[in-house]
Structure 1
């Protein structure tokens, strides 16, 4: 504890923390004591018990994390408390008096937004410093009439200390350090789709997660029904962020990848072919391909009922088909056509003096003659059947593509060795998005209330359309960095991304101030920006990071790795050895079992697929991963979205040369370090970097 902090004030705050933790335990025990037995039936009991279990989980205390991190002494003359403590969740005592106010509550907004120019009714803002779960320090800012501020928020010692704390383990929440521009994004209304262009280290991922938590707090009932989904680039990323929302009391949020939504199809294919399949023009091609399966009837419908016969003429059937085609989805259209045919028969029955009811109509709609006619005119189809025909039949592809695809593009899309049937076909990641498009044309895709999409710049137009269908009745938070686009179809404009998502009115905002990557490292990486994203503003970091960067040319980069790792092991925090994918086995061998490789061999071999996933988790709070290793060897293609205290980067030139957007990949891996970056190279650095 600093010598200038009054011990009695610190002890009083510690006493309040102890009282708040005790009250939280009481709240959780009360939730545990509640029973679902009062529900009237088994289904109701199961639902109620699930809600009670979620309530208990949301009230879990995390002893190593501060229950509250700030205090506001208010000068406003109103009915609200004069002193409030801002923390991760609401806590009240046995008389319902608030001991901690949830950071998402409207009154807590002043903790993030108040300043000397606009104190927002706050006389004093106090930040707390913790070591583990122990309150060890505090820092005051006078904001109201009580005096001039002792320091600006960005100069806050405790704030900078929290930002610079070692990043070992999964991602932490940032509720204690949210900056005003980040807070504006977090508190954006549910009806607004927000697109965040964020340079490395600006906290865009954390902002997206905290916005999800804020929206769940503010629109609990609505979003509990419709759901919130987090979409990340791979399972390593999901593992890395998995602790954030539970720490904020939100335990019912789906977290998945694009492949988790579209299906784990990862058959390798040429990048140029994947780029064509991912192009937005494929949407029109697929729609035509589906509706081309509808044909004109050879004859009308004949229904025999006893001695009576009822006919629907061929021209009437044709008129029904024409009226439905393109005005409904394919699957419901087939059902509606059956009902319209049956209704035409019922009209004839009534004209003959009969009194048919709905049961008769349903019976006619399910009859063999109607089914036979439907199979000829409006056949029942699956997405796999349509796409199989499209990719294996050149003549059919030409009819469906029309002028949307050139002859060269059609040739690239067609399978060179067609499969025997759609059941034996091996689909690629790009095919998965096409199948999803077709499935939505056949049957409507359910929508969520809100989607958070990270690394959105790497998604193809067809993948974006697939995600857009899942928030068409809601909104989205889109996160990414155009400079970090590494796929063949990487976006160059956020407006295009919003258009493909079906959210053209989304608001684009830019975060350029970094809190994670030291300035020396970020400036070094930013020398690549003119080559990878010339229209973006260069980011800046609040962390000077003097001495954080070391660039060493060595006779053999692989054999130099063990010594660099030994140096890093002498410092606190996690260590990531990031290397060209092809060099990973040799580096793992050089480290002789002291490191864990991120991702399986099969996943590394297919890592060009946008949704390649991993099996190894990031390090835990002690700097070691789940296998006990503190050092991870990370293929360059799996590094996106992850961070390590110390990064040892091998052969930047090989990373840059490995793919078309290799310089963007290099920009990504250069910005994974939060404390130090050591670059080992034998070959000359890429000219853009040197």
Structure 2
């Protein structure tokens, strides 16, 4: 890491002195100039370190002030509890992380541009806002503030009123270097500090990328709340980080609104959520929920063939379920008689049928049932008024709850649950034929019905696909509450019915949809983002990120050999990183021995190590590593993946990344499932620094 400003000088000029020697030695003059530059740079670095210390002290005072506030001013117990919760969140958001830079950039201007006239001449950009409590002077501006946009977007073509951008280098939270970039159009090479930050080895959870956000990423991050954004991102392009940072930006910009409606992050599995769990708290956002699709819809009780799951996940099932639910309503065959005191009031059977028909299918099932009772009661009140009585609303409610109305209601519009309806649909061939007529053919109907029905809906064992069907039915019965914003990662792997379930959870809000069509590994993987957005019920723009920052070029090029076979419509990704020695492909006689040797070599270098293997071989590979004296951890659906050496089943690798990746037997990974080549593409693109491919059998023809 550079220890002084290596590109444009320090910005400090020293006054010229008369030269007593009219003909100085050129080497001596050069050494003198270099020494002067180093001295000036060292002095400026010390000034920046002083500003960092001052900012940390101010943040500490801000936190102490927040911790000293009391909720006793609240008027009642409920308000006090709410205020205490807000204060606790404020204290947590102001936590200082010693190993994380408080600011990472600085912008300077000379006050000549109209956009900067009212701004201080120097602006430090960091992870959160820090101010001097005595004077109210901003020491660090939050990266999400509108003025901070210039740090990411300003350039020679449009400096946005700024003269210079400065980036800071850190080690262990200590400021060790700076690097300046003039915004006057002078051509410069790539930023050494930016490159080093991108390539810095990582162990444990994912880090934020606020210091390295690129202009095209920043545009996505700062998209306004009403906009639904869909990001097609090749491996290493930072799509997951972009989605998380957009959530942080929206929470900052629309704090009050989203505090009420909520933000939810949906990931493919628990290991992935553990991996990204530290990003938002590091940005000061501690109240964002994370969930998998199973957390939202319910964990499956049973498995089923992939073809059956794909059919149940088809969007056509929504119409089948709608018909099945409304067929629970029976045709009224008799009228209604209500007795009040000595009087009897009657509705003819055709009147009851007309009321039921007017409501059927126009409202949600539970609301329709309640409205049916009220409309029946209203007609009884009309009969009362015709006899000269003057009933009020209380009388209508009493009639709606009366025994004759309840009895008719249970016969005609029975109260049902989603489980009851789906149980009947999957076990009753007659109901299936009626509900699926013209939607599913006979073979498809037979495929999704239970071969051996359960005795009751209470004993039924539901699959993952069934859970999405139950969620659809629940929404047809009663409306699903909507969140303010939903971030969905690896969205290409969700079925149409699962996407509909997520769409209901942002029906009055917006979404950030992230994924890569080339990494679709489920039998029902999406083939287009237009299709995904349609199932979500959202209108949005699709942005494609193809420039990789994390995966080295040779690794990305090697994996891209599979693209024509898994997603031929996508543009091949490119990488900013050369990584000439990043890829090793080797055929070995003894896989266990080769895996242990490769793991030992990788552990000798900085960073995390992931051994990705076919799922069936995970335990055996872990044993081989343990026998070799290494200490591996096997990544499971619920593990946090915090170990330095991880054995990763191929089906859990999606969304994760490691500095050094070892892939064992790629042919076995590709052959393990229907979309195995897509799975292999995922596996081969998890490496940040190096990829070692070991095989004893031939490589897949598409890769070789």
What is the TM-score with the length of structure 2 in the denominator? 0.93
Partner of 1:666: 680
CA distance in structure 2 between the partners assigned to 1:219 and 1:427 by the alignment:
39
SS in 2 for 1:647: strand
Q: Distance in 2 between matches of 1:539 and 1:455?
A: 17
The partner residue of 1:521 within 550, 555, 565 is 555
* Pairwise CA distance, 1:150: 5.7
1:558, 1:650 within 8 Å by CA — same for their partners in 2?
no
1:615 corresponds to: 638
The C-alpha deviation readout for 1:559-601, integer Å capped at 9, x for no partner, is 421111111111111111110011112111212274444455x
How far off its partner does 1:80 sit?
A: 1.5
Which aligned pairs between 1:399-548 and structure 2 lie closer than 5 A?
Answer: 399-503=434-538, 505-548=539-582
Distance apart, 1:406 and its partner CA: 1.2
After superposition, residues 83-162 of structure 1 pair within 5 angstroms as 83-94=122-133, 95-144=135-184, 148-149=185-186, 151=188, 155-162=190-197
- List per-residue Cα deviations over 1:176-197 (Å, max 9, x = no partner): 0000000000011111111000
Q: 1:348: which partner in 2?
A: 383
Say yes or no: does 1:632 pair with 2:671.
no
Helix, strand or coil: the match of 2:591?
A: coil
Residues 610, 660 of structure 2: 8 Å contact kept: yes
Secondary structure class of the residue paired with 1:315:
helix
2:120 to 81, 88, 92: 81
Deviations 1:463-508 (A, max 9, x none): 00000001110110000000000000001100000100001x2100
Corresponding residue SS for 1:293:
coil
Instruction: Determine helix, strand or coil for the equivalent of 2:163.
Output: strand
CA distance, structure 1, for counterparts of residue 192 and residue 333 of structure 2: 82
Of 620, 624, 641 in structure 2, the residue corresponding to residue 586 of structure 1 is 620
Do 1:167 and 1:643's aligned partners in 2 also have CA atoms closer than 8 Å?
Answer: no
- Any idea what the Cα deviations from partners look like across 1:252-297, whole Å, max 9, x if unmatched? 1111111111111251100000000000000000000000111111
Q: Secondary structure at the match of 1:633?
A: strand
Residue number in structure 2 paired with 1:610: none
The residue that corresponds to 1:54 in the other structure is 89
Structure-2 separation of matches of 1:408 and 1:650: 40
Verify the 8 A CA contact 1:576 1:646 in the aligned structure 2: yes
Structure 2 residue runs without a partner (length 5+):
7-37
1:25 and 1:150 map into 2 onto residues whose CA distance is 41
Displacement of 1:348 in angstroms is: 1.4
Structure-2 residue corresponding to 1:563: 597
Compute the displacement of 1:27 (Å).
0.6
> Do the aligned partners of 1:142 and 1:150 also contact (CA within 8 Å) in 2?
no
Residues 3, 178 of structure 2: 8 Å contact kept: no
Is contact 1:595-1:633 (8 Å) kept?
no
Give the Å deviation of 1:173: 0.4
CA-CA distance at 1:72 after TM superposition: 0.4
- For 1:236 and 1:669, how far apart are their aligned partners in 2? 15
Distance 1:87 1:396 in 2: 61
Shift of 1:456: 0.3
Question: What CA deviation, in whole Å up to 9, does each residue of 1:326-376 have, x standing for no partner?
Answer: 110000100010011111111212222323222221111111111111111
Which residues in structure 2 correspond to 1:205-284 (within 5 Å)?
A: 205-284=240-319
Q: Is the 8 A contact 2:582 2:691 kept in 1?
A: yes
Match of 1:573 among 583, 591, 607: 607
Matched, 1:45 2:80: yes
Partner Cα distance (1:369, 1:43) in 2: 42
1:527-546 residue CA offsets vs partner (Å, 9 max, x unmatched): 00000000100001111111
Count of residue pairs the alignment pairs up = 662
Q: Deviations over 1:132-167 (max 9, x none)?
A: 1100000001114xxx43625xx1110000000002
Contact 1:167 1:645 in 2 (8 A): yes
Q: 1:195 touches 1:477 (CA, 8 Å); kept in 2?
A: yes
8 Å contact from structure 1 (residues 167, 674) kept in 2: no
Unpaired segments ≥5 residues, structure 1: 601-613, 620-624
Once the two structures are overlaid, the 10-residue window that deviates more, 4-13 or 417-426, is 4-13
Q: Distance in 1 between matches of 2:289 and 2:440?
A: 37
Q: 1:675 aligned to 683, 689, 692, which one? A: 689
> What does residue 332 of structure 2 align with?
297
Tell me which moved more, 240-249 or 341-350.
341-350
Higher alpha-carbon Rg: 2
Q: Is the contact between residue 427 and residue 449 of structure 2 (CA under 8 Å) also seen in structure 1?
A: yes
The 8 Å contact of residues 196 and 478 in structure 1, kept in 2 or not, is answered as yes
The alpha-carbon deviation at position 615 of structure 1 amounts to 2.1
